[in-house]
A and B are shown apart, each in its own frame.
Chain A
Amino acid sequence: MKYFGIIIFIFLTFCPVTSFASEMVEIPAGQFIMGNDHDSHATPQHKMHLKKFSIDVYEVSNEEFAIENPQHTFWEDSGAHPATNITWQEAQAYCEKIGKRLPREEEWEKAARGEDARIYPWGNKKPRKKPHPFYSGLIKRRVGLNKKDISPYGVRDMAGSIWEWTASDFYKKKITKGGLWNFHLEYEFSKIFDRNLVLSSSRLPFLGFRCAR
Chain B
Amino acid sequence: MRTLGKLTRRLFLERGLWATSILFWNWLRGSVKAEELHSYEGTDFIGKTREGEFKNFYINFWKPMRRINGDTWKLKVSGLCDAPQSFTMENFDSFTTTTQSSRMKCVECWSARAQWSGFSIQDLEQLVKPQSAAKGVLFHCGDEYKEYLSREALNQDRVLLVHSMNGKPLSDAHGFPLRLIAPSKYGYKNPKAILEMEYVSEHQAGTWSKIGPYSTDGTILPGTDHPLEFGKEPRRISGGEITDY
| Interface-lining segment among B38-46, B72-80, B93-101, B216-224 | B216-224
Cross-chain pair count, CB within 8 angstroms: 61
Complex-state Cα separation, A133 to B214, whole angstroms: 11
Chain B's nearest CB lies how many Å from the CB of A193? 14
Interface of chain A: mostly helix, strand, loop or mixed: loop
Complex-state Cα separation, A180 to B221, whole angstroms: 9
- B186, closest chain A residue (CB): A136
Contacts of B216 in A (CB 8 A): 137
- A176, closest chain B residue (CB): B238
Q: Is the CB of B109 within 8 A of A196?
A: no
Q: Is the CB of A136 within 8 A of B213?
A: yes
A202 within 8 A of B: yes
B240 within 8 A of A: yes
**B203-227 at interface with A (beta carbon < 8 Å):** 213-219, 221-224
Given contact pairs A134-B213, A185-B107, A185-B213, A205 touches B219 in the complex (Cβ within 8 A): yes
B239 within 8 A of A: yes
Scan A150-177; emit 1 where CB is below 8 A from any B CB, else 0: 0000000000000100000000000010
Q: Choose one: A179, A184, A198; the contact of B240 (CB below 8 Å).
A: A198
**B173-229 at interface with A (beta carbon < 8 Å):** 186, 213-219, 221-224
B71 within 8 A of A: no
Contacts of B221 in A (CB 8 A): 136-138, 180, 182, 206
B90 within 8 A of A: no
Complex-state Cα separation, A182 to B213, whole angstroms: 13
Given contact pairs A136-B218, A181-B223, A196-B222, A204 touches B240 in the complex (Cβ within 8 A): yes
Q: Is the CB of A198 within 8 A of B218?
A: no
B35 within 8 A of A: no
Contacts of A198 in B (CB 8 A): 238-240
Q: Is the CB of A137 within 8 A of B217?
A: yes
Complex-state Cα separation, A137 to B186, whole angstroms: 10
Contacts of A163 in B (CB 8 A): 222, 239
Contacts of A41 in B (CB 8 A): 236
Given contact pairs A136-B215, A137-B218, A181-B224, a sample of 7 additional A-B residue pairs in the complex whose CB atoms are under 8 Å apart: A182-B223, A183-B223, A183-B224, A184-B109, A197-B238, A206-B219, A206-B221
